[in-house]
Chains A and B, each alone.
Chain A
Amino acid sequence: MPIRLCRIDDRLIHGQVVLGWARALGIGDIVLVDDEVAASAWEQDLYRMAVPPELQVEFVNTEQARRRLPEWQASPMAVLILTGKIETMARLLADVPHPPAVNLGGIHHRDGRTERLPYVYLTDEELAELQRLKSAGVEVTAEDVPGAGAVSLEGLA
């Protein structure tokens, strides 16, 4: 079964991911790709509290994720890959054949960012990074919860 969702969400594992997308897509395995969380056992314990027992959750750093991407692409379980940062997702999918689509789920306000959607704020550099991903063959859309309607990258410019 392919990777069903690659999501960028700076709140990482939370209700929209576990109750929204995981249920809607029949996800069996959530992979959180975050160098900081991958190095922190207590943060992993906190995030596990948000995941129901029927869901598997893995914590990996970016390099581990790059090596294991083919494994998840061929997984018998539906996989949701989650990053908190655009740059992490871009590094993960760089040069990957047949890259999965990317969902912008929550990138919130920070100095230098401007509102593109109520749940997506981007600097011009971040928008350019996403446009480079798209030019490399990655479909990029924004949608916070299932059924809300996907917004194309052009709609965020």
Chain B
Amino acid sequence: MSEPLRGVVVCHGGLSSALVAAVEQISGPTDRLVPVSNTDCDRGHLEARIAAAIAGAPAVVFVDMPSGSCLFAALHRLRDEPDVKVVTGVNLAMLIDFVFHSDDGPAEAAARAVATGEQAIRIP
């Protein structure tokens, strides 16, 4: 059986842990999401944290901002990894959808996350 797709959430400060905790409040405990914070580390250490969270598994890396240190560290480390895709602008809706769709591959899951995340942004 192939390794399940992992979601690594990389954000400023405590946002990634808060997002993962919020997902688990809704979906129940999950080991598919791993939070990574950029607090107290330079780019090299942040890259190492991201790589440790991925641990060689196929993954989608969810980053908070469409630029900046979190995105840069992710792309710098992962640009040549075919089984890892990066999605920016992470939100709760896309993470919840991610944990309920475990059969997707990285590219499919990343595209799905973008679509779900965009659909969640609206003026009701």
On A, residues with C-beta under 8 Å from B are 10-12, 14-15, 42-43, 46-47, 49-51, 106-110, 118
Question: Would you call B75 an interface residue if the criterion is a C-beta within 8 Å of the partner chain's C-beta atoms?
Answer: yes
Interface size on B, residues (CB 8 A): 16
**Residues of chain A with a CB closer than 8 A to B71's CB:** 46, 49
On B, residues with C-beta under 8 Å from A are 12, 40-43, 45, 65-69, 71-72, 75-76, 79
Q: How distant is the Cα of A14 from the Cα of B43 in the complex, in angstroms? A: 11
Instruction: State whether B40 touches A14 (Cβ < 8 A).
Output: no
Across the interface, name the chain B residue whose C-beta is closest to A50: B67
Instruction: State whether A46 touches B43 (Cβ < 8 A).
Output: no
**Residues of chain B with a CB closer than 8 A to A12's CB:** 43, 72
Given contacts A14-B69, A49-B66, A50-B68, whether A43 and B76 have CB atoms under 8 Å apart is yes
Taking A11-B69, A46-B75 as given, write out 9 further A-B residue pairs in contact, using a Cβ cutoff of 8 Å, ordered by the A residue number.
A10-B42, A14-B67, A14-B72, A15-B68, A15-B69, A49-B66, A49-B71, A108-B45, A109-B41
Given contacts A46-B72, A47-B72, whether A109 and B40 have CB atoms under 8 Å apart is yes
CB distance from A51 to the nearest CB of B (A): 8
Q: How distant is the Cα of A42 from the Cα of B42 in the complex, in angstroms? A: 20
Instruction: State whether B41 touches A14 (Cβ < 8 A).
Output: no
